[in-house]
Structure 1
Amino acid sequence: MSRILIVEDEPRIASFLEKGLKAHGFVTTHTETGESGIAAALEGEFDLVILDLGLPDRDGMTVLEALRGQGFARPIILLTARDDLYDKVTGLEAGADDYVTKPFRFEELLARIRARLRSVQAVPDPAKTTLNVGAVVLDLISRQVQVGGQGVELSAREFILTETFMRHAGQVLSREQLLDLAWGYGYDPGSNIVDVYVGYLRKKLGSHCIETVRGMGYRMVLPEAIDIATAS
């Protein structure tokens, strides 16, 4: 499940992108400024960034240059109303992987996103193919999970939920966030499906691996706090 960061200050466009991408199985995060976009990209584990050039606090080109200058190597697609050839060339030479002008058709943008993701996945980076939190190791390529060195069988949905928790280890996630991230936009917010699946994961990954934060949601415990013995 690929994670996409959207750096876009126009709420209508950002909402349109998030709904469309979630409907096609992507996990999205949205920021509205260049500074918050840089921080999110460098701190998170995103597979691709959609970057608007007309941001309120700084020009998107400087955001692009800052990300590339600080070692961010994932694909970046520029999304902008600027259709001048000079801007396109400047953006691509500054490190952008693609350039899409507004107005745009979502189908075209989706095709470009998939193409960029395929190009990255064709030569996988071994350092980025596994997630580790305490005794839990998740292989994103083979789709296998180990707990304390022992293989654990997870359903497709359990795997997605485990990946979601591991990518946000130590962070409290509300039931609504988990529904959004692991089930997608439009799932019944009144469902207790999150609680049911958290119960499944506790049985398979360890009872202390995921803790309940009363009144807020759930959190995957950081490595130093996990009781490995209970996860074997």
Structure 2
Amino acid sequence: MNLIAVKTIFRFEMARFFRTIAQSLISPVLSTSLYFVVFGAAIGSRIQEVDGVSYGAFIVPGLIMLSVITQAISNASFGIYFPKFIGTTYELLSAPVSFLEIVAGYVGAAAAKAMFIGVIILGTSFVFVDIQIAHPIAMVLFLILTCLSFSLLGFIIGIWASNFEQLQLVPLLVITPLVFLGGAFYSISMLPPLWQTISLFNPVVYLISGFRWSFFGAADVPIGLSLMAIAGFTGLCLLVIGWIFKTGWRLRQ
């Protein structure tokens, strides 16, 4: 593997992140803090505990997942879309680098940005609530896998998008509703039986449930299913990206 190429792409993307630090970091942290204030204070005063955990602490994993998923998709999609937009994709494709090195550079940078934001938000949450992390290694593992898998999805969206409107279409109309309906602010056990069954078809439920288990040792679905779901999703994204580079779909437009 051409590590120089991977390092160059990675450093370029990270430099762009720090050039726009207000938009890239401060904005999501402030937004999450507002969620803590609104949901933790307003709703938390009416819902004292969920599964034996204070409501303010209960929503922390869901808020982290919401920010991490959104940022991973946004950074990865824009990172690969912008070279398409200005026409430098051809230089990248003609360079002596493989598609694995291109993906590693862009996806690695997007995952690192999302991971960084997730850690900052986790640190911010200690200001608002008292949190005990039951399985810290599992928490880090879930966070890394989530950052990687949704960065891969963002990479696919960036290649698929033909304009800036399409770049925001999937995150706004698909991903964000799935996260909100995936148990970010509630346990699916609180729903009627029919809606509990319907919720199990939402793939984000397995991510949030597994991540919440790493904090509190309790989950809506078995931890094994959560790991299988995120591993399967990551594998599917890799297969799609491999097919894209093999066929050149949307890369040479």
The answer, yes or no, to whether TM exceeds 0.5 is no
Q: TM-score, normalised by structure 2?
A: 0.22
Higher strand proportion: 1
Higher helix proportion: 2
